[in-house]
Structure 1
Amino acid sequence: MSNSFSLIRRLVENPKLVQLVRGFEADQFVRLIRRIGVEDAGDLIALASSHQLPHVFDEVFWKNNAPGEREKFDPDEFALWLEVIYESSAQAARKIITEMDDDLLVLGLAANLLVVDYESLSLRMLNSNRSYEDDLLEKVLDSECCLEWGDLFLLAKNSRAWDTLIALLVEVDVDDHERINRILETVLHISTEYIEDNGGLYAVLTSGEMLETDLAAKREARREERGYVAPEPAAAFLQLARITPLEDLVAAKEEDYLTRSYFKAFLSADKPRAAQEKHGHEPLPSLNREFPDIYKELTEAEIITIDQAKQLPDNSTVRASHGFIMSVLREMAKDGEVKWDQCLSELNYLANILMAAETVDQERMRPVEAAEKTIALCNEGLAMLLPQDRQNDRSAIKGILGRESLVKLFRIGWNLASNRREPLPTASGEEYSQ
């Protein structure tokens, strides 16, 4: 992508482009921010719509160390985003805090601050049997990273985020005093339980972990409704496909329990999601028509994507059997066959599994790489089910695609490629290393 600063200026200074960016799907907006870098994207983040923000939070505040591992809340990223946005626009930062889900705000504050009540703290400090830790605690309370808030004391667990968090709390409190008090009382409850379980207040001030299980589960449910696959079930899906006997995969009449669970959640949310995100598709034709250079730049960077059928690898670059299956899929898309909708959902599901649990050259897979590898593995499974003398027979291929799911073909292909301990093929006929 060209110079990020130049791109940001064009996006935020042209009123027409501002409206188009605010109409991006949430996933597209997140990819744009990540491509630019949050440190440089404060002005752009300030443009986010109320529709985009909750999904942005779901994506940027949660991380894992490697594909396939559980994603955990990242308090440093939470603080960084608020700092960047606040430096760019205090009003935009207040808007984000105002629109942020209460549970997420509590989690972010509890990971960066401790809240203790004045009475409990006074009793501790007046205790005649003072310890060395009590003396250290008194020094902490005398530091700049401590604030008296009514009957509460706010203490920093992360001094870097302190100034921004306190400034935002003070400003938002003016507009919604009841909400801020309610949130701080919740953080107080969390802090009190955590202090009691972890050796006293000073020990907690030098620790950093907070429980986030409930919020993580809600986040995974929201992302699942939008088509994402969490890293742990993605890794479990691939492991199950690898260890299941090949003959069982071939004979299977229904999907595995992980796939059934995914589509149950995904399809139940399909209609409301389509209604909510419909406006996200409308800006792209306008962007392409009025700002073709920016459209080209964003498309090449995979920030915005074109029609899914057009993303299938080009027939001219693949092996013969691969070309036939993709040609059949394109026919299904062009003819508007009902089966194509199922195939598209399955392709997205499988590509999301690979992006969540696999790597290429120790890097997380990009969408195009995952799509190509998905097609390649489906081809492996298809070849297994086709008679040897009908490997390139279009009618035979279409017959299998009509009877079997792409998920089944993928699982067979993954099993074959994994258990022969060879690099997995790509749709272009090259190889990926596992």
Structure 2
Amino acid sequence: MTMTSKAIEARTPRHLLDRLLDAPDPTLAVQRLEPRILHQLIRTCGLEDCGQIVALATPEQLMQVFDEDLWRSEKAGKEDQFDPDRFGLWLEVLVDAGVEVAAQKLAQLDFDFVTAAISRHIFVLGAGSIVSGRDVDEWGVDSEIGGYRIIARRSEGWDALTAVLGCLDDDHQEFFQELMKRCFLLSTDYVEDNGILYDVLAPEEQIMSDVAFDRERRREEQGYVTPAQAVAFLESSRHLGQDRVRQWHHSTLSYFRERGDQEPASAQGWTPPSPDRLLPGQTDGDRPLAALTAQLRFVHEHDEVAYAKRVEELGYLANVLMAGCSFDSRRLSPIEASEAVAAVCNLGLESWRGVDERRQPQAFLAGQDLVAVFRIGWSVIYEQVCLQTARRLVRVLSDLACDDAEVQEQIADLAALLKRQIAAGTPWRARDSLDVIAILDTPTWSTLLGLVDECPVVPKQIGKPADARPALRVAPDVEFISENRQVSWVREFLEFLPSRLSG
């Protein structure tokens, strides 16, 4: 039995779980799932309802799922941070499936990871240790297990944690002793001569840094890029001269050089999906992506090696957007990132003539990588949509007069902020301050929010004249920019901006 991302999206959560658990061999069915599919299943159904499923997963599956699920970054481009509360929930779910199972899973995971995760939940001291001060007053929960005094650093997951530690002491003694010794060494650095616990621990931060590094290495092997690499790539792609179009950013070169040392995916039995399955909107006709679809179909039919490379490049670019690009003041989801990459590449193909006046042959993508195509589209979106919108808005706001003194002051503040962000090359960082525009014209404000974004969007069905007022929808149905006609619509929209905002 196989399960794909589309299958997960199409079915109800309970049906997905029942399908796995009702299989002739549920363990084999779960362990055959790709880790990313298992993680998507957990996200779709909810971790609390997936205890029976995760209890059947292999340690390798769990580590890759943890790499995704236990690390958080509120903003794109920022380094992910370990989420100890989420780890506590995982412990509770595993214990609900059976404390022996939970203990066995921990004992099979990477030891440094388990140490770093557990040490975020407890202090470990010698049995009978007397620790004065705020540890008892603030945390207030402790227990003695296996000759060690365990003090809670956070209350979430405490019962599950002590149950697992007790089971490790009983059934996995060697692992338990090594874990406690390591946590004990970390905890002793919290204790001064007077026995008071402190909140900052350099060795603990070091082990978490080591765990984060190992996670980053594993993710790079799977095709992910770091936030810093993604931000640098996207920034360099915004400012392309014609002589730099085909030059890859150094992080991209490094990525594909390392990937080139690995066994080809095709040799591992992987078959890339067809263009109709790969590209969003091809089944419902909602987003034609005509240029990209036609090119990929030709390559798919005539050069499977080149097609596999193009698919890998699309995956790389989607990971770049997820790691380094904001959208609507948050991170892009995997589906959104895939849609955005396809749109930008389609726009890049349409805009390629500005770089090469020769007509693109049907086999263009057989020899041309999609990274360069994306970079062209990304520069067009930045220069002609995001930046152009911000500049036009500054000019319009500077000439705008309002009878309300408070509103006029907010308009002036917004214009000043936009100028600073334009100078910094980050106009989208002013989008959260566009609320004053809603006072002047709500539909225009809604559209501007989409245009002054790091990954801009336009309203769907933009065939109406740009001077026609859209329906009053604060959250319109939008789509990523994939065609030059949409860029032209933006120019027309901006031309009529003064009349829209002046009423």
**TM-score, normalised with respect to structure 1:** 0.76
Aligned-residue identity in percent: 30
The yes-or-no answer on 1:164 pairing with 2:157 is: no
Give distance in 2, aligned partners of 1:334 and 1:315: 19
Higher alpha-carbon deviation: 407-416 or 227-236: 227-236
Query: 1:249 touches 1:411 (CA, 8 Å); kept in 2?
Result: no
Distance in 1 of aligned mates of 2:255 and 2:337: 18
For residue 74 of structure 1, what is the aligned residue in structure 2? 83
Q: 1:382 to 1:139 in 2, by over 3 A?
A: closer
Aligned to 2:471: none
- Pairing 1:181–2:177 present: yes
Q: Quick check: 1:412 aligned with 2:412?
A: no
Conservation of the 8 A alpha-carbon contact between 1:246 and 1:415? no
Higher mean C-alpha deviation, range 260-269 or range 221-230: 260-269
Q: Deviations over 1:101-149 (max 9, x none)?
A: 1011001111001112359x45xx6xxxxxxxx35556679x5423254
* Match in the other structure for 2:254: 261
* Letter of the 2:242 counterpart: E
Indicate how the Cα distance of structure 1 residues 319 and 178 shifts in structure 2: closer, same or farther if over 3 A, else same.
closer
Letter of the structure 1 residue corresponding to residue 254 of structure 2: S
CA contact (8 A) 2:67 2:215 kept: yes
Could you tell me how far apart the structure 2 residues matched to 1:389 and 1:98 are?
A: 58
Provide the rounded CA distance (Å) in 1 between the counterparts of 2:482 and 2:297. 15
Q: Kindly state the Cα deviation for residue 229 of structure 1 after the two structures are TM-superposed.
A: 2.1
Q: Please point out which of 289, 292, 307 is paired with 1:325.
A: 292
Does residue 15 (structure 1) correspond to residue 50 (structure 2)? The answer is no
Deviation at 1:226, TM superposition (A): 0.8
Q: Which amino acid aligns with 1:267?
A: G
**Aligned partners of 1:170, 1:192: CA distance in 2, in Å?**
22
Q: Which amino acid aligns with 2:63?
A: P
Matched, 1:61 2:70: yes
Secondary structure of the 1:146 match is strand
Change (3 A) 1:270 1:426: farther
Query: What residue number does 1:230 align with?
Result: 226
- Does structure 1 residue 356 correspond to structure 2 residue 323? yes
Give the aligned partner of residue 285 of structure 1. Answer: none
Contact 1:157 1:205 in 2 (8 A): no
2-side partners of 1:138 and 1:319: how far apart?
60
Query: 2:45 pairs with 18, 32, 36, which one?
Result: 36
Secondary structure at the aligned position of 1:153 is classed as strand
Contact 1:112 1:157 in 2 (8 A): yes
Unaligned runs of 5+ in 1: 126-133, 283-304
1:95 Cα offset (Å): 2.7
The residue correspondences of 1:10-409 to structure 2 (distance < 5 A) are 10-16=19-25, 19-117=28-126, 121=129, 134=132, 136-137=134-135, 144-147=141-144, 149-150=146-147, 152-195=148-191, 201-204=196-199, 210-211=205-206, 212-242=208-238, 244-250=239-245, 252=246, 254-270=247-263, 310-313=277-280, 314=282, 317=285, 322-362=289-329, 364-386=331-353, 393=359, 395=361, 398-399=363-364, 401-409=365-373
CA distance in 2, matches of 1:196, 1:55: 38
Q: 1:315: how far off?
A: 8.8
Measured at CA, do residues 139 and 86 of structure 1 come closer, stay the same or move farther in structure 2, by a change above 3 Å?
A: same
Deviations 1:248-300 (A, max 9, x none): 433x4x421110122233333445x878x75xx79xxxxxxxxxxxxxxxxxx
Distance in 1, matches of 2:216 and 2:374, equals 24
Inter-CA distance 430–49: structure 2 relative to 1 (3 Å threshold): farther
What are the Cα deviations for residues 366-402 of structure 1, in whole angstroms up to 9, with x where unaligned?
43432232122223333343269978x551x534x34
Provide the C-alpha distance between the structure 2 equivalents of 1:20 and 1:345, rounded to a whole number of angstroms: 27
Instruction: From 418, 426, 432, give the equivalent of 2:481.
Output: 426
Partner of 2:156: helix, strand, or coil?
helix
Distance 1:148 1:369, change over 3 A: closer
Give the letter for the 1:234 counterpart: A
Residue pair 2:48, 2:93 contacting (<8 A) in 1 also: yes
* TM superposition shift of 1:224: 1.0
**Residue identity in the other structure for 1:33:** I
Please give the root-mean-square deviation of Cα atoms over the aligned residues, in Å: 3.6
Alignment-derived partner of residue 302 in structure 1: none
Deviations 1:285-321 (A, max 9, x none): xxxxxxxxxxxxxxxxxxxx9656622242984788x
Give the distance between the partners of 1:306 and 1:337, measured in 2 at CA.
Answer: 11
Relative to structure 1, the CA distance from residue 345 to residue 26 in structure 2 (aligned partners, 3 Å threshold; closer, same or farther) is same
Contact 1:110–1:210, Cα closer than 8 Å, also in 2: no
Structure 1: distance between partners of 2:169 and 2:69: 25
Residue pair 1:195, 1:204 contacting (<8 A) in 2 also: no
Confirm or deny: 8 A CA contact 1:377 1:410 kept in the other structure. yes
Shift of residue 155 of structure 1?
A: 1.0
- Indicate conservation of the 8 Å contact 1:68/1:235, yes or no: yes
Which whole-Å CA distance do the structure 2 matches of 1:164 and 1:77 have between them? 13
Give a deviation string over 1:191-224, Cα, whole Å, max 9, x none. 2234459x96333399xx8441111011011011
| Partner Cα distance (1:384, 1:184) in 2 | 60
Contact 1:25 1:52 survives alignment (8 Å): yes
Deviation (angstroms), 1:235:
2.2
Q: Aligned-pair distance for 1:245? A: 4.1
TM-score with structure 2 setting the length:
0.67
